[in-house]
Structure 1
Amino acid sequence: MSRVTTLLSQRLRRDWLQLALWILGTMALALAGLSGAASTYGTEQERTALLATVMANPVILLFRGLPSGPDEHAFIVFLLMPFLVMMAAFMSSFLAVRHTRGDEEAGRLEPVAATPAGRTVPTAATIVHGVLADVLLGILVAAAFLSGGSPVEGSLLAGFTAASGGLAYLGIALLAAQLMRTSRGANSLAVWVLVVTYFIAGIGNAVGTPSDDLTHMQSSWLTWLSPFGWAENTRAFDENAWWPAFLCLAVFVAFAAAALALQSVRDLGASILPERRGRTAARATLSSPTALVTRLAAGSAVGWMAGAFFAGALSTSLGSVVDQMGTDNPAVADMLKALSAEADLPQAVVVVFFTMVGLLAACAGVQTVARARQEEAHGTAEPVLASPVQRVRWLADFVVIGFAAIVLTCATAFAGAWAGAAGLDDGAALTRSAFVAASGQVLAASVFLVLTAVTFTLAPRWTIPLGWTLVTAAIVFGLFGPLLGLPEWVTNLSPFSVAPVPDGDGVDVRGMWWLVLATGIGAVASLSLMRRRELASAG
């Protein structure tokens, strides 16, 4: 136990600031949701009307929780729970990979394994570390609900659910770190599992069975395949069912035990899933550093583009359906207009979906620049920079390829929107709206690209955690800020909220010039700062 305590103490000193940002940010989201929902949907009649709308609208249920009645506190959980779990899941996943596969890849685990601590104690310390972080997050979420006057049992259940959801993805990421050869691969696997299970829960809710009074939704079997679905089915402040959260804990225990078992039997530096064998000789297309960066970034970029195509296709193909719903029930129109600030309902649907495309594009850009940090930390950047390649040119390649990934992601979404609009009466207008929205999201996503690049030059060890944290916070507060009743100036801090959008037959440029200016300044600053920075080891 003393060995675990020693490692845990070192990791807490190393991680305290970024864990504080994640945990306090999650608590702030809960507090903002409590005040915002209370002011925006203050009467039971308003909440009942909105829930009736949600029952009939599968688009909204893809991005919300599980309706559990018009009670004020249950309604707030419906709005917030998926995002509270998501914040805990991201925090836990990055923590797990950073202190297992990340430390192993950077060479820090080998000297520890040579001590009496052995090979499994570091993983055990990571498990304890993650449990402490999620427990603290759950306590503060419960405290946030209690501070708003919520009932005690429901508040405690909401905090417990958020913590147990984070622990489920802690276990998943621990196992991913054993399966994959690199921290990048482990993080990608963990994040993709998180995203897929999030949408599985959303689809399961969307095809569920509504109650006769249209205030509750009974999940389909599909929802029960996802930790998000288990968390939502606790129904805090309604049924207060604790047992679904224990399914999350069961996943954590099983996956953490599997990770410990695999750690004890595999070779240090090896992985359960072997890496793909490389060619004996490089292709001629790899004769430049730009081509090398393109090769490194291609796989992840294709994944983000696939998701963007799906979102783009939905943005136009569902427009007519939602338009009819808005005619039958004005609450649908009110919600989508609040999310998008658009008066025209089909355009509002396009804007909402392309905001999600902007998120995917930002992820593609951030992941590309984060790769520069991984190359540096793993020592593979040094041979490249020992050649005639200058460090500014080296970073510029990652920034340029990251921007190309953003453009291609948005272009792929536009292609999906064009395909979805084919054959529709207003297909041409929707396609034009999609083009404007896609162009605007290129600008928004580019801000995160250059912010990550600036972080890489100023604080290399913060490149990956801060880059992903900024994207997550921007989408939560930018896209859902209006529904949560956040002040306009808060939602406008998100580049996604101020990107140009279609406005009838014209274009509302909104914060276009600010986004262009921020991107230009960030790009110039990152390349200028790179001239004076030395290579930094892993942190």
Structure 2
Amino acid sequence: MSVAAAAPAPAVPRPAATREPWAGTGALLWLYLRLDRVRVAVWVLALTLTVAGTVPALQAAYPDAAARQTRAALMTNPSAVLMTGPAFGVHDYTFGAMVADELSLTVLVATSIMAILLVVRHTRADEEAGRTEILRALPVGRFAPATAALLFVTVACVGVGAGVTVGLLAGGLEAAGSAAMGLGAALTGLVFGAVAAVTTQVTTHARGASGLALAVLGAAFLVRGVGDIMRTGGSWLSWFSPLAWAQQTRPFVELRWWPLALSLGAVLGLLAAAVVLAQRRDLGAGLLPARPGPAGARPALLSPAGLAARLLRGSFVGWAVGLFCFAVAFGSLARSVQDAVADLPQIGEWIGGGSVLEDMTATFAAAMLSYLTLGVAAFAVGAVLRLRAEEEAGRAAPVLAAGASRAAWLGGWLATVLAQAVALLVLAGIGLGLGVAVATGDGGAVARLTAAALAYLPAVLATAGLAVALLGLAPRLASLAWAVVTYAIFVAWFGPLLGMAGWAQDLSPVGLTPNVPVEAAAVGPLALLAAVAAVLVAAGFAGFRRRDLAG
């Protein structure tokens, strides 16, 4: 018996995952496609429709060569170059060159953001939530989850590139230039997806990984902008930005394909770096260890509002810096736009929503203010939906168990969002006013536009109120609040040019707001929006108090 008891146990075969590093990649790719089919479809469809809708809108706004040359004159302004691109072909501004200048940077940045978010979602976020560890317990190789995530992002970027190409072809643009813009968008998205693959190895948390990757994207935007301002067509500094590589293909002007080789090389190099770094860390850990927190929490963190302010701090600071910088840049264009309208009244009709007003500077500032408000509305919706993320991650339950009521938890969070939204509107007004003041010498613009910005607060509250209502009543559908933001952006950009009916434009909370400071801040629409916001928030409170957490 003792001999039998001492007999060695039979050897257990090692799991297939340890023998095949990429085992299960195909199955995981199919899983990611299944999970995010709607999310990716929305990205692809939104960018495709943006391109397809912008081309005829530009054709209507700039119908002939003289009109295009007037638009090209705006490209001498550094702010215009910063927000568009290197301004190729401005001496003979063809329609294709104008489309490339107007659209390329928007498409490149949007595709890059999509790629960053998707890579982090299926790598670091899955590790942080423990899902990767469960997958690795199956016959799944060490590199399979990350490889499947990158292949999935490749599919998404290729879809965007194909959509951009189709949208340009539908507008009557030539095939080679359209294909170059589409391929450039896809490869640029992959570059920043690969950047995210590296940042996910560095940090412990998904939010930190996406924040680092987005910071790299922001730096690339600034480097490209400064480089393009230094010299028309781009300077040596521009080539340090991946965003410039796609633009330097010069579609519809002097098409050249070789700059895209830089994008492809960067993708391969960054992915190789990500593989090397992944082998130097443990599952769930980052190369940079998380810093230990203080022994005791500050008194402010003991309240729901204080905790919300701490959790939303990074997002708020990022939006504040971005909106302020864009507001100053928009404002500095005021004089150039005013001069252009003298030569091309169609621009004034676009800015003024169908009528050329005497004070074109004020009309332009009012239009730019409505665009900046869309950013504030997007921040407010994202901040409200962050509460759903806290709930799903299981971090809301301890807060409630510590003694905070559901009403206090939601109320403190919304009070913080309200305060931050007001601060963003004020910053947008101040920045826009400063830009206008520098461009025109009108020092009073700062006060006028700051006050005008606050008139958009009811629109922001109504948009965020829908997110609150969905959070309380139908939490699984809370992300549908983004549909209102998307619609408002579409109306703001394309509504007047496409001749949308007035009632359709008024469905947008921002569109329903009076066009301040050109128009008086009428009490009726603002009171209606405020009442809608109050009803939606009340419904959200009622639902949140009754439903199950993470329901």
Normalising by the smaller structure, the TM-score range is 0.7 to 0.9
Instruction: Verify the 8 A CA contact 1:62 1:205 in the aligned structure 2.
Output: yes
Amino acid at match of 2:161: G
What displacement does 1:109 show?
A: 1.0
Where does 1:227-376 land on structure 2 (aligned, <5 Å)?
Answer: 227-313=242-328, 318=332, 322-323=334-335, 326-327=338-339, 330-331=342-343, 335=347, 338-339=350-351, 341=353, 343-355=358-370, 357-376=372-391
Alignment of 1:321-470 (within 5 A): 322-323=334-335, 326-327=338-339, 330-331=342-343, 335=347, 338-339=350-351, 341=353, 343-355=358-370, 357-416=372-431, 427=442, 429-457=444-472, 460=475
C-alpha distance in structure 1 between counterparts of 2:120 and 2:499, whole Å = 33
Contact 2:434 2:445 in 1 (8 A): no
Q: Determine the structure 1 residue equivalent to 2:542.
A: 528
Task: Give, in whole Å, the separation in 1 of the partners of 2:164 and 2:154.
Answer: 15
- Name the amino acid aligned to 2:183: F
* Structure-2 change in CA distance of 1:18 and 1:73 (3 Å): same
- The letter of the residue matching 2:535 is I
Is 1:198 the counterpart of 2:210 in the alignment? Answer: no
Q: Secondary structure of the residue that 2:421 maps to in structure 1?
A: helix
Deviation at 1:35, TM superposition (A): 1.9
1:436 to partner: Cα distance: 3.0
CA distance in 1, matches of 2:497, 2:348: 13
Match of 2:102 among 72, 79, 86: 79
Q: Is 2:84 the counterpart of 1:64?
A: yes
User: Retained in 2: the 8 A contact 1:481–1:491?
Assistant: no
| Residue in 1 that maps onto 2:236 | 221
For the residue of structure 1 that corresponds to 2:287, the secondary structure is coil
For the residues of structure 2 that align with 1:274 and 1:333, how far apart are their CA atoms?
A: 59
State the distance in 2 between where 1:95 and 1:348 align. Answer: 39
Distance 1:143 1:451, change over 3 A: same
SS in structure 1 opposite 2:530?
helix
| Compared CA separation, residues 323 and 255, structure 1 to 2 (3 A) | same
Cα distance in 2, alignment partners of residues 416 and 28 from structure 1: 31
The alpha carbon displacement at 1:292 in A equals 1.6
Unaligned runs of 5+ in 1: 210-217
Amino acid aligned to 1:365: A
Structure 1 distance, partners of 2:496, 2:86, is 16
Contact 1:448/1:467 (CA < 8 Å) preserved in 2?
yes
Amino acid across the alignment from 2:66: Q
The one-letter code matched in structure 2 to 1:16 is R
| Contact kept in structure 2, 1:64 and 1:79, CA below 8 Å | yes
In the alignment, is residue 152 of structure 1 matched against residue 175 of structure 2?
yes
**Residues 178, 486 of structure 1: CA spacing in aligned structure 2 closer, same or farther, 3 A cutoff?**
farther
Residue among 112, 137, 146 paired with 1:89: 112
The unaligned stretches of length 5 or more in structure 2 are: 1-21
1:224 CA drift (Å): 2.3
Provide the residue aligned with 2:17 in structure 1.
none
How far did residue 113 of structure 1 move? 2.1
Q: Distance in 2 between matches of 1:272 and 1:343?
A: 59
Change (3 A) 1:337 1:520: farther
Q: Name the residue aligned to 1:215.
A: none
Which of 35, 51, 62 in structure 2 is aligned with 1:30? Answer: 51
- Tell me if structure 1 keeps the 8 A contact 2:61–2:346: no
In the TM superposition, what is the alpha-carbon distance from 1:303 to its structure 2 partner? 3.1
Report how far residue 19 of structure 1 moved. 0.8
Answer yes or no: is the 8 Å Cα contact 1:501–1:509 preserved in 2. no
Partner of 1:214: none
Shift of the alpha carbon at 1:23? 0.5
> Which deviations, in whole Å up to 9, do the C-alpha atoms of 1:241-282 show, x marking residues without a partner?
222233223332222332233233212222223333211012
Following TM superposition, by how much is the alpha carbon of 1:439 offset from its aligned partner in structure 2, in angstroms? Answer: 0.7
Q: CA shift at 1:203, angstroms?
A: 3.9
Q: CA deviation at 1:288?
A: 2.0
CA–CA distance in structure 1, aligned partners of residues 47 and 507 of structure 2: 17
In structure 2, give the amino acid aligned to 1:521: V
SS in 1 for 2:83: coil
User: How far apart are the structure 1 equivalents of 2:58 and 2:306?
Assistant: 49
Q: Structure 1 stretch 158-167 or stretch 353-362: which is displaced more?
A: 353-362
Aligned length: 523
Amino acid at match of 1:42: P
The one of 2, 10, 24 aligned to 1:3: 24
1:531/1:297 Cα in 2 relative to 1: closer, same or farther (>3 Å)? same
How far apart are the structure 2 equivalents of 1:228 and 1:54? 21
1:50 Cα deviation after fit: 1.2
**Is the aligned partner of 1:502 residue 2:525?**
no
| Shift in Å, 1:37 | 1.8
Contact 1:498/1:510, CA 8 A, preserved across alignment: no
**CA distance in structure 1 between the partners assigned to 2:148 and 2:253 by the alignment:** 37
Please report the TM-score for the alignment, with normalisation by the length of structure 2.
0.84
Q: How far off is 1:83 after superposition?
A: 1.8
Distance of 1:188 and 1:453 partners within structure 2: 25
Letter of the 1:198 counterpart: F
Whole-angstrom distance in 2 between the partners of 1:287 and 1:165? 43
AA aligned to 1:434 is: L
Which residue in 2 is equivalent to 1:512? 526
Distance 2:470 2:266 in 1: 35
1:338–1:482 contact (8 Å) kept in structure 2: no
Q: In structure 1, what is the Cα distance between the partners aligned to 2:77 and 2:524? A: 29
Distance 1:510 1:160 in 2: 48
Kindly state the Cα deviation for residue 449 of structure 1 after the two structures are TM-superposed.
Answer: 2.6
Q: Does 1:480 align with 2:500?
A: no
Alignment CA distance shift 1:328-1:479 (3 Å): closer
Equivalent residue letter for 2:224: A
C-alpha contact 1:36 1:483 (8 A) present in aligned 2: no
For the residues of structure 1 that align with 2:298 and 2:169, how far apart are their CA atoms? Answer: 61
